[in-house]
A and B are shown apart, each in its own frame.
Chain A
Amino acid sequence: MTKLWDWGYTWEILPVLAKASIVTIEATFLGFLLAATFGLLLAILRMSKSNWVSVPTAGFVEFVRSTPLLIQIFFIFFVFPEFGVNLSAMTAGVLALGLHYGTYCSEVYRSGLANIPRGQWEASTALNLSPYHTFRDIIIPQAIPPVVPALGNYLVALFKETPLLSAIAVLELMQTAKILGSENFRYTEPITLVGVFFLVFSLITAAGIRQVEHWLNRRGGN
């Protein structure tokens, strides 16, 4: 007597899923914040004149990009306690997301920085600006706007990978859906709803990013 779709069940679980979606959004937001910041740091390190800094950084970026996020999540979750640091699952998850996507963001920043004409660097030197001020006031304000759409795409990608956190039992959407499914012996509605949620959200964000791109192109005039 299995129905194709149980509407009663659907309305029942909706509030539970809504609460879980907050965890998902939290993880996305924190993870991306970390990724965007860490990525900028990595990009700047990559630009260092000293090979002792730039090469290991490049190696690190390549390594993290070429290996699965899931393994990195497990690694962080299980390794830290061995050194006495006990992380909650959420913290470990956000850390892993930030690390993994930080490397993607660093590549985006690198191309943005590379597009700054050399003259800008030279003018800053001629005006005797410190490296800190050069970056803060001259370079970064010019480098960031063109790469915002690309960063936006990675935000969406990160958002879509938050379900991986269910592997270490973070109570985000996917984990909640699985629990609901196993408790009520019906997986169809929870998982489909989660799928629809992600689809709608990423379609909206993708359209939003296109708008930002459009707006930037009109303003930048490059």
Chain B
Amino acid sequence: MPLRQLTVCAIVAFTAGLVVASFATFRVFLPGLLEGALVTVEITIGGCVLAVVMAFVAAIAKMYGPWPIRWLAVAYIEVFRGTSALVQLFWLFFVLPHFGILLDPLTVAILTLGLNVGAYGAEVVRGAISSVQRGQWEASTALNMTRMTALRRIIIPQAIVRMIPPWGNLFIELLKATSLVSLITISDLAFKAQQMNATTFRTVEIFSIVLVFYLAIASVITVAMRTLEERAARGIARGRA
């Protein structure tokens, strides 16, 4: 979408102007913010990987599993979609130790975000699998494949292309949600921003730069997704030839 590119350029230009205007302060902030950004990226990647795994497991369990497994999947999806990420984060951070499970904050962060976005991802996976034409299932049956074989070799490879745009949106949601981990004392970008703001009170500069950082990471995700989509669509006929 060219508009998005235009927006990014405009925002970057605006902030660049601000930055130039307060060059000294910018140099002071940058190292700390970069540190925080690194932690944010770390959590984002870890969370995204877990989310994809959980989404596939839950979707397939919900669509094809025996009824106890299906029930488990539905419960997982409803609970993690029905409560907010922050509540889940606090629960896993404050309450788990009480049950004897001690995890470091970073693990809690990745676990929570992965489980949370995974629940939303399950619907994306389910929708994509359902959207594969019925004829593909019928051809697989005619060739005497088991349901799992057909799913694995025929249906899912075709479903993956359709999943990529919605997954792109979910990954960006996960990126935004990482800001919440600053509230359980993880030194991510949001935490660093708060910290620096509390000591220097240069609110506008700090938060503007931080917002641009998030936008930049989000743009990387969007571009990566678009490239992935093009590569995955290679060879596949969109619709019927």
Q: What residues make up the interface of A, taking CB atoms closer than 8 Å to B?
A: 2, 4, 55, 58-59, 62-63, 66-71, 74-75, 78-79, 82, 160-161, 163-164, 166-167, 174, 177-178, 181, 186-188, 191-192, 194-195, 198-199, 202-203, 206
Contacts and interface: CB of A to CB of B under 8 A. Distances in A.
The 9 closest A-B pairs by CB, nearest first: A187-B94, A160-B84, A68-B179, A59-B7, A68-B176, A70-B179, A163-B86, A199-B82, A78-B203
Contact of A70 (B11, B87, B190): B190
Contacts of B190: 68, 70-71, 74
Given A74-B207, A160-B84, A62 B91 contact: no
Interface of B: 3-4, 6-7, 10-11, 78-79, 81-84, 86-88, 90-91, 94-95, 98-99, 172, 175-180, 182-183, 190, 193-194, 197, 201, 203-204, 207, 210-211, 214-215, 218
Nearest to B219: A66
A123 to B, nearest CB: 30
A2 B201 CA distance: 43
Contact of A188 (B98, B178, B203): B98
B207 A79 contact: yes
Contacts of B204: 79, 82
B26 to A, nearest CB: 18
14 contacts: A58-B7, A63-B7, A70-B190, A71-B179, A74-B193, A75-B203, A82-B203, A181-B94, A187-B94, A191-B87, A191-B95, A192-B95, A195-B91, A199-B79
B92 to A, nearest CB: 10
B95 A187 contact: yes
